[in-house]
Structures are given as C-alpha cells and as structure tokens.
Amino acid sequence: MRRYTILFNVIFLFLLATFSNRTDAAVTLPQLVSNGMVLQRDVPLNIWGWAKPSEKVNVEFLGESYSTKADKNGDWQLELTATKGGGPFKMKINEIELSNILIGDVWLASGQSNMELQIRRVMDLYADEISKINNNQIRLFRSGTRENAETEKADYPNGAWLTATPENRMEFSAIAWFFANEIYKAKNVPIGIISTAIGGSPAEAWLSKEKVTPFLDSWLDRQADIDSMRTARKTEGEETKPYNWGVEVNKNDPGVGLWSKDDVDVSEWPTMSLPGYWSDKGVDLRNGSIWFYNEFNVPDSLSGKEAILRLGRIIDSDSAFVNGTFVGNITYQYPPRIYTIAEGVLKPGKNKVMVRVFCQGGKGGFVEEKPYEVRIGKQVIDLTGDWRYHVGAELNPPFSFGGLSFRPGGLYNSLISSMKKYAIKGVIWYQGETNAGRGFEYRQLFKDVILDWRSQLAQPDLPFLFVQLANLGIPNKQPVKSGWAETRDAQRRALELPNTGMAVAFDIGEWNDIHPLNKKEVAHRLALEAERVAYGNQSIVSSGPLYESMKMKDGSIVLTFSSVGTGIYANSLLEGFQIAGKDGDFVWAKAVVLNKNTVKVWSENIKQPSAVRYAWDDNPAGSNLKNKEGLPASPFTTEK
C-alpha cells in the first residue's frame, strides 16, 4: 500500500510541475525582436511580445529598466527611449538575453518579384562586387512565409536577422542590398532591411482590412462564380478527377528516360535555329514537351574540367543534360539558366547537350539576346545556331477553372501586420507589373497602399519610395495604347502624396526580360530619393524632370516641368513625344527645349492640340528627355 501511495505522490508532483510550467509560461518574443536585430535610431522603440495574463515583464537596455504587465490576453508592449545609432548592444527581457543588437536605420523592402529578386540572380553584372560583400553593419530579416492569410498574423512563423557576410549575401534582395550599401556609406550607421516582397503579387494583396473591402468583395464574387461553375459541371456528370499535368506529360512523352541519355540517335530529327520561339519556326506546340539537341567540341586541354552551361531564358521550364548527365532544371520561365557541369563530365572532342522544354500554354521557346554557351574558365563555346528537335508530348488538358491567387489583403495579413509595431525609417517598393492593364484603377489603389501602411504602422509621414515600371517588349513604331505606360503614369501621380519619391526605370530595363539585371542603378535612384525625402536634403537633385502643367500656344503645347536640377538637357533632338487633337488620336510630335524647365511640343498634322504623352509605350526606346544631371524624365500624359 505504501508503495502505491509513493507512486501516486510522484505522479501527482509530476503533473503539478507540468501544469505549473504550462500556466507559468515564459515570455515569448516576435521573430523580429531577436539576436542581431537592427532597431530604428532617434525614435521611441517598441518592444513587444506575449506572456501569461498579468505577468510582469522587465526590459533592460542601455542602462535603463522598463516594466509592464501583460494584459488579459497575454499581450504586452513597452516603449523604450529614443537612441542614437550604434552598437552592438545587449538587451534583457525577463530571463531572455538578446545580443549583437545594432541601432541605425531600418527600411522595409516590399512589392513583387523585382524587389524580391536575390543577389544570386544578378551575378552576370556584379560578380566581382558581390564577391567582396562582407559587412556586419548591414542586416536582412526575411521570413520564409508566403502565406496568403485571411486574418492578420501577430508574428512570422520563422525568420532571423542575417548579416551581410559571405555566408548570407546571396539571400539579400539585390535592390535592397545595393540600396542599403549606398545609404550605409552616406550615413555611416547600421542599416536593417525587412524584406517582404512576393513575386506576382497585386497591390490589393497588400491592403489592410480597413482599405481592402471593395477588392475583397469582387474577389469573393469571382470565387463564388468559379465554385458555382464547378458545381454545375459536377451536376452534369462531367469528369471531376484532378488533372496532374506533370504525370500526363511524362506518360505521353516517348523520350522520357531515353532521350536524355548519351547514346540517343538524333540523325532523323529536324533542325531549328535557336534562340527563338518554335511557333515562329513552324512547330505548332502550345502545351506539352519538346526536346532540343546540340553538339559542341571541347579541346583536350579543357576536357574533364568544371564548366558552366548558359541557356539564357526558356519559356516555360526545362531540364538540361550534358553527355547524358543531368546538370539542372528551372521550373518557371524567368530565372536565367546557369547550370554547373561537374568535373569529369566534359570529354575531349564532341560533347552533347540535350534540353527538354515544357510549355503549359502560349508561346514557348528560347528568349533572344540572352547567353547560350558553355563556359570553361575563360573559354566560351557558342551554342546558338541550328539545334535538332523532337516533339515529346502534345497535350490537350481538360478545361480548368483554376483558382484565384493572392486574396486581397492576404499578404498584408501575413507579412505586414506582423511587423507593424517595429519602427522603420521608410519603405522601398517595386510593384505594378501584376496591375499593368488596370492603370486607371491603380491611380487610387497605389495611393491607398501608401496611406494605409502609414496608418497601420502609425507613421503618418513615413517616407515611401518606389520604382516605376521598367521597359519591356519590342518598341512600337506607331503610338499605341499601353497598359504599362498607364501604370507608370499612375505611379507618377502617387507623387502627389507628401514624402514620396520615385525612381524612373524605363531606360535601364531589358526588352526581353521582366526581371532586368541592372538593379544597382535602380537602387541608386532610390537612394537619391531617400536622401531628399527621408534625410531632408532639399538641395540634392534626386530625380529627372516631372510634368507639372501645360498650356496651349499658337497650335502647340508648352509643358512645364519640376525637378529639372540645373535645367533640362538640350543638346540633343527630343524623342518620345506624342500629341493629340480633340479626337484623342495621338501622333508622333516634335519637341524642343524652350528654357530651363519648359518644352514646346507640336505637329504639323495637329492644328488644335489637346493633349501630350511622353514615353508612352511598354518599351519607350529612344525617349530621351532628362535633366543636365542625367536623370531621365518620368513618362506621363497630360490627360486627366
């Protein structure tokens, strides 16, 4: 009996200890408030977290002590005294000790893929510079979450502050790194970057619930329509079994497991000149797979060495093999194909490269004016020209209703709400590609994002700097409607809000790539605007000419510009202007600089002009209005 009494007491004490541990839970902190964090200088600092209700929380930092109690929900927050830049420092929160804390300027980098694009993607332009990155005064916080949440999230599920060291540098957004590095050199204070950009995201996904209602209602209506159509098809007895595209393409492709090998016979395969799109070369394949084969010679002295296979950019996805050895694959069209050929794969003399390309609808092919080559040390072997090809699988997938990605407000809920208590210096933003084609709507939508974030972050004057869309596509020979130009103009109009700045980018993009590599110049132009907007230097020339007003004069239109610096550059013939009469039809126009800040625009074919557009094309190549400081003018229309 005594034995059972002792056993009962042991179990009771164990359960009591367990219960006590659960109800007396330790203080917990958000992912942002962690080792290595960068806190914003010169403003009161918010430190927050969670504990059991009414638990006392004590924070010790820089010789000061701050105390509070958790509320009935377990939430607590403390405001620490504003501090000048410096570090590293330590902070103690109850029993938690945080170290390696810096105080400097914190910037939120957000938007879509051009802001998300990491340093590893721009190695072609900046390899030497990137190899030297090693600065523990510049740090990055990025969570791995891409959740499209229905409700606000109090914290990120993961994430840590990373220093800009050789081990971490490839994780940085390219724009964010170049921007942070330039600000660091100019201000000599630590720089923190909170990166939340998500590729393909529309602006409405970044709105809080206070602003998102009209977009969410429309999204829910469309989702309801899709659900209704799915239900109707099921009622009609149509096939509802899920369609697995990958399984189907492999099942119908006779080359799977065979044509990737080193001994495949391609002597009967036809040829096609690459790069280019196969639909332009007589191959009608819209959905399926197609194989491409080429040969190249390797000198005896270079055989067996490690090499790089460059396959430009391929639409939509691909898998590549050299001498029967798999060397890499990319699952979507935008990343550059840079595949490592391991030591021992290359042979002296003839070598073989096989590329299996997948297209899931639309125009597939190898994008022009990209590198297609093998690099062995300094030796470059060109792969452009005739390739042999063979269609693998041609599919006719069943009709699919698809889904609606990026719930309005979803990315705000998962990526912005979690950091809105964290004081920051400003925002850098690169987004708009997904909203292109809805430029008129974007005029207000983009302003709503700016105003909403300022409200939610409790920083009504928060500097908000953004990148205008870069050039893309083949330039048009005649004036046309342009969704990208409309979106650029909507972005320009956001400058009507105070404490905003814009980096023009239509002159530094790439006609054949929605993700141009020249991120350093984009970051430089953002940094110029940061100097003016965030750091108060009103003497700096931070942008090119911005359209201000117009007036009719003797059959022409005279435009007035701001941000002209020392004046509009007048030593070249102005290109890129269009003018319209009362019918609204635009034609190419002549233009000349009248003085420091005005330009006269006219056409002999328009006697009563009513409006002017500038750089109005997806790719407004040749448009050359700029100030004497060399900064390009923003595209614009004088139309309301």
**Model confidence at 22, in pLDDT bands (50, 70, 90)?**
very low
- What tokens does 107 get? 């910037």
SS3 per residue for 55-75: CEEEEEECCEEEEEECCCCCE
Reported residue count of the chain is 640
Domain boundary among 38, 71, 105: 105
Do residue 117 and residue 182 come from a single domain? yes
Give residue 150's identity as a one-letter amino acid code: E
Would the pLDDT of 31 be above 50?
A: yes
**Model confidence at 631, in pLDDT bands (50, 70, 90)?**
very high
CATH number of the CATH domain containing 463: 3.40.50.1110
> Is 269 within the bounds of a domain?
yes
What's the CA gap between 459 and 453, in Å, rounded? 8
3-state secondary structure of 129: helix
Q: Could you count the other beta carbons within 10 Å of the beta carbon of residue 285?
A: 18
What's the CA gap between 372 and 85, in Å, rounded? 48
With contact defined as beta carbons under 8 Å apart, do 613 and 634 qualify?
no
DSSP letter (8 states) at residue 10: H
> Is 439 within the bounds of a domain?
yes
Do residue 360 and residue 257 come from a single domain? yes
With contact defined as beta carbons under 8 Å apart, do 258 and 322 qualify?
no
Q: Give the torsion through C-alpha atoms of 223, 228, 231, 236, to 10 deg.
A: -140
Would the pLDDT of 580 be above 70?
A: yes
Would the pLDDT of 14 be above 50?
A: no
Domain boundary among 533, 560, 585: 533
Q: CB-hemisphere CA count at 13 Å for 284?
A: 1
∠ CA 215-431-618 to the nearest 5 degrees? 105
Q: Give the torsion through C-alpha atoms of 49, 53, 55, 58, to 10 deg.
A: 30
- What tokens does 418 get? 């979690």
Do residue 478 and residue 552 come from a single domain? no
> Is 298 within the bounds of a domain?
yes
Q: For the full predicted model, state whether its pTM sits above 0.85.
A: yes
pLDDT in tens, 317-368: 999 999 999 999 999 999 999 999 999 999 999 999 999 999 998 899 999 9
Domain boundary among 345, 371, 394: 394
- What average pLDDT score do residues 436-464 get? 96
With contact defined as beta carbons under 8 Å apart, do 147 and 409 qualify?
no
Do residue 94 and residue 114 come from a single domain? no
pLDDT of residue 362: 85
Do residue 187 and residue 256 come from a single domain? no
What's the CA gap between 460 and 452, in Å, rounded? 9
> What total of structural domains would you count in the chain?
4
CATH number of the CATH domain containing 93: 2.60.40.10
Would the pLDDT of 2 be above 70?
A: no
Do residue 72 and residue 113 come from a single domain? no
Beta bridge partners of 373: 310, 382
Do residue 306 and residue 325 come from a single domain? yes
> Is 571 within the bounds of a domain?
yes
With contact defined as beta carbons under 8 Å apart, do 628 and 615 qualify?
no
> Is 224 within the bounds of a domain?
no
pLDDT of residue 71: 96
The backbone torsions φ and ψ at residue 76, rounded to the nearest 5 degrees and listed phi first, read -145, 155
What's the CA gap between 119 and 140, in Å, rounded? 13
The backbone torsions φ and ψ at residue 61, rounded to the nearest 5 degrees and listed phi first, read -155, 125
pLDDT of residue 167: 96
pLDDT of residue 405: 80
> Is 223 within the bounds of a domain?
no
First-residue to last-residue Cα distance in the chain: 93
Cα separation values, 87 from 59, 63, 166, 172, 228, Å: 17, 14, 21, 22, 59
pLDDT in tens, 466-510: 999 999 999 999 999 999 999 999 999 999 999 999 999 999 999
DSSP letter (8 states) at residue 603: -
Q: Which domain holds residue 265?
A: 246-394
Rg of the chain in Å (alpha carbons): 29
Do residue 298 and residue 367 come from a single domain? yes
**Model confidence at 17, in pLDDT bands (50, 70, 90)?**
very low
pLDDT in tens, 593-627: 999 999 999 999 999 999 999 999 999 999 999 99
> Is 241 within the bounds of a domain?
no
Do residue 190 and residue 263 come from a single domain? no
**Model confidence at 399, in pLDDT bands (50, 70, 90)?**
low
Do residue 207 and residue 322 come from a single domain? no
Q: Which residues contact 318 (CB under 8 A, 6 or more apart)?
A: 311, 329, 330, 337, 355, 356, 357, 358
pLDDT in tens, 178-204: 999 999 999 999 999 999 999 999 999
The backbone torsions φ and ψ at residue 418, rounded to the nearest 5 degrees and listed phi first, read -75, -15
Do residue 130 and residue 88 come from a single domain? no
- DSSP string of 11-66? HHHHHHHHHHHHHTPPPB--TTSSTT-EEETTS-EEEEEE-STT-EEEEEETTEEE
What's the CA gap between 243 and 402, in Å, rounded? 11
Q: Are strands 349-360 and 317-322 parallel, antiparallel or unpaired?
A: antiparallel
pLDDT of residue 365: 97
How many angstroms from the chain centroid is the CA of residue 467?
Answer: 11
Report H helices in 81-240: 113-116, 123-131, 174-187, 213-235
What's the CA gap between 599 and 595, in Å, rounded? 7
E-assigned strands of 281-316? 287-298, 307-311, 314-315
Strand order in the sheet with 598-602: 546-553, 556-562, 598-602, 590-595
Would the pLDDT of 19 be above 90?
A: no
- DSSP string of 366-379? E-SSS-EEEEETTE
Do residue 89 and residue 169 come from a single domain? no
- What tokens does 416 get? 């912005």
> Is 212 within the bounds of a domain?
yes
- DSSP string of 234-280? HHTT---S---HHHHHHHT-TTTTTTTSTT---TT--EEEESEEGGG
- What tokens does 557 get? 């239109």
Q: Could you count the other beta carbons within 10 Å of the beta carbon of residue 436?
A: 19
CA neighbor of 582 nearest in space, from 551, 602, 610: 610
The residue whose two tokens read 């099942």 is: 251
What's the CA gap between 625 and 632, in Å, rounded? 6
Q: Are strands 372-376 and 325-330 parallel, antiparallel or unpaired?
A: unpaired
Bigger pLDDT: 263 vs 223: 263
Beta bridge partners of 194: 108, 141
What integer best gives the mean pLDDT of the chain? Answer: 93
Residue 579 host element (H or E):
strand 577-580
